[in-house]
Amino acid sequence: MRKPKFVIFTGSDGKYYYNLKAANGESIMTGRGYSSRHAVLHGIAHVMENGLEEIRFTRKISANEKPYFQLRAKSGRVIGWSELYESRQGRDKGIKAVQRAVMHGRVMDLGPIAAL
């Protein structure tokens, strides 16, 4: 059985990023660029710490009227954001997928590849 995972990769800008992928392989949340592998792992730890708390998710609507969400740390800093969804229900399912993933996820480091 496949499990959710945080996939760490290096972007073409040399920064470290993560994608949180659901068990079905779909990307459900992306993190900002970090200056080091250690920093991105610290960011993932924040996601795992805050991702179970409903209050940490901010539901948003983009300029082109597409729902999405952000995950914020206790400090208020955005630590991850979703894709754009076609519906609010899709966005809410995405939040639930993140909450499931942080309980069962693992970390997979792809090393220095450009995959943005």
Whole-model pTM?
0.84
Cα separation, 3 vs 33, in Å, equals 24
Cα separation, 53 vs 62, in Å, equals 23
pLDDT attached to residue 4: 87
pLDDT attached to residue 116: 38
pLDDT attached to residue 16: 94
Asked if residue 37 belongs to a domain, the reply is yes
With beta carbons less than 8 A apart as the criterion, state whether 50 and 74 touch.
yes
CATH number of the domain within which 73 lies: 2.30.29.80
Give the structural domain span for 62. Answer: 5-109
Asked if residue 115 belongs to a domain, the reply is no
- In order, the DSSP letters of 17-60 are EEEEE-TTS-EEEEPPPBSSHHHHHHHHHHHHHHTT-GGGEEEE
Asked if residue 116 belongs to a domain, the reply is no
Asked if residue 80 belongs to a domain, the reply is yes
- Count: domains in the chain: 1
Asked if residue 81 belongs to a domain, the reply is yes
Q: pLDDT (tens digit, 0 to 9) for every residue of the chain, 116 residues total?
A: 678 889 999 999 999 999 999 888 899 999 999 999 999 999 999 999 999 999 999 999 999 999 999 999 999 999 999 999 999 999 999 999 999 888 876 666 655 544 43
Asked if residue 82 belongs to a domain, the reply is yes
pLDDT attached to residue 115: 43
CA-CA distances (angstroms) from residue 18 to 9, 25, 65, 75, 87? Answer: 6, 14, 26, 20, 25
The SS3 assignment for 14 reads: coil
Asked if residue 91 belongs to a domain, the reply is yes
pLDDT attached to residue 106: 65
pLDDT attached to residue 109: 60
Asked if residue 90 belongs to a domain, the reply is yes
Q: Which two tokens stand for residue 8?
A: 């760490």
